[in-house]
Amino acid sequence: MTLATLVGSAGVGLLLLAFVLNIAGALKAESIPYLGLNLLGAGLACLSSWMIDFMPFVVLEGTWAAATLIALIKTIARQKVPT
């Protein structure tokens, strides 16, 4: 098994874990743990795609990671605002 396959498998595993935990009701889509799993998973999947020079998935996973990072920053910022 290549390093790219290991990295990609870990990334996809984290993405699927977040999805399953969300569907099961264990994690809300707006929660920091859910967003963290998505960010790390998409980042690893993007890196793996880069390692094998498969640009369609670099774009897909890179966009997924960027969108998740924005959502994570907004979520953290909302939690720091006193109500």
Please report which confidence band the pLDDT of residue 80 belongs to, taking 50, 70 and 90 as the band edges.
confident
Hey, where are the domains in the chain?
A: 3-80
Phi then psi dihedrals of residue 28, to 5 deg: -85, 145
What's the CA gap between 15 and 4, in Å, rounded? 16
Tokens standing for residue 28 = 């809300």
Q: How far is CA 42 from CA 23, 76, 81, in A?
A: 18, 19, 28
Give the model's pLDDT for residue 83. 60
9, pLDDT greater than 80: yes
Q: Give pLDDT tens digits for 17-74.
A: 999 999 999 999 999 999 999 999 999 999 999 999 999 999 999 999 999 999 999 9
| Residue 82 pLDDT > 80 | no
Q: Which amino acid is at 6?
A: L
pTM score, whole prediction: 0.92
